[in-house]
Amino acid sequence: MEISVAAAKTNKYAISESGDTLEVVERPNGGVSVVLADGQSSGRGAKAISSMVVRKVIGLLAEGVRDGAAARAASDHLFTERNGKVTACLNILSADLQTGTVVIARNNPTPVFVATHNKIDCLNSESRPIGTSRNIKPAISEIPLESGITIVMYTDGVYNAGDRYGQQLDICTLLDSLIEDQDPPAQIIADTLLNHAIRMDQGRPNDDMSIVVLKVVAQESDQIRRMTVRLPFRATNAMIMRESFPSEDEQSLN
């Protein structure tokens, strides 16, 4: 069997830095966790919050702390650091090989979708963002880790896509038709959903948007673990100048 995790992420239109932070970490007892945080507002301030939260969570998960405890710790940490004045949404999605389950921890009103054989469940139980008070707990769901499941989680930028134009993205129907049609790889699902969300905002995302898709597939071609990261960036003037007129000094190594 193979666990496949894919993420696709874009910034709010005309804002260079995304306020969403997403990291993947290996679980010390086997498996993988994806941590997604969305800091209050957007831009640099939001990024500082979301990356502080994600850093706290991945540090704890890497030490073997359970997901629920890591989410609570991140909430208390944010509460203490920012005096309860700043909030963040936090999702932790783990494929835990020790327990043989997928664990979904939500501190985020935005729903998470779980597609199993022939049905799609929407996890949308009440859930509070972290950081605003003591004793904030995540809403936790645990399902068996088995082939054929697909889990989709995302930030509110995707959930609210099209809001300004009186439209709403129906992730459930879209996901259902995607899986029914061709059962595509996780990255295609993430890309398709993100592209739909961007289109709903007329090509100019109204907020940072991040989508994570976790799939468990039965086939297993080899015992090789793989990871790919693709990070588009705009070349600075200095980089362009350097490409046009490389200096001797810069081309030498050491």
- Footprint (CB under 8 A) of a copy of itself, residues 193-232: 194, 220-232
Q: x/- string (CB under 8 A) for a copy of itself, residues 104-123? A: ----------x-x----x-x
Shortest separation between residue 215's beta carbon and a copy of itself, angstroms: 10
Which residue lies nearer to a copy of itself by CB, 130 or 149? 149
List, in sequence order, every residue forming a beta bridge with 96; answer none if it has no partner.
31, 101
Q: Work out the widest C-alpha separation in the chain, in whole angstroms.
A: 62
From 75-83, 151-159, 173-181, 240-248, span contacting a copy of itself (CB under 8 A): 240-248
CA distance 31 to 115: 20
- Go through 118-140 and write b for each residue having 16 or more CB atoms within 10 A of its CB, e for each that does not: eebeebeeebbbbbbeeebebbb
CA distance 201 to 188: 20
CA distance 158 to 160: 5
Which residue lies nearer to a copy of itself by CB, 166 or 229? 229
CB 6 within 8 A of CB 22: no
Please identify which residue in 76, 146, 163, 176 interacts with a copy of itself, judged by CB under 8 A: 146
Shortest separation between residue 23's beta carbon and a copy of itself, angstroms: 7
From 22-30, 84-92, 129-137, 170-178, span contacting a copy of itself (CB under 8 A): 22-30
Please identify which residue in 7, 151, 152, 189 interacts with a copy of itself, judged by CB under 8 A: 7
Per CB under 8 A, 177 contacts a copy of itself: no
What secondary structure letter does DSSP report for 130? B
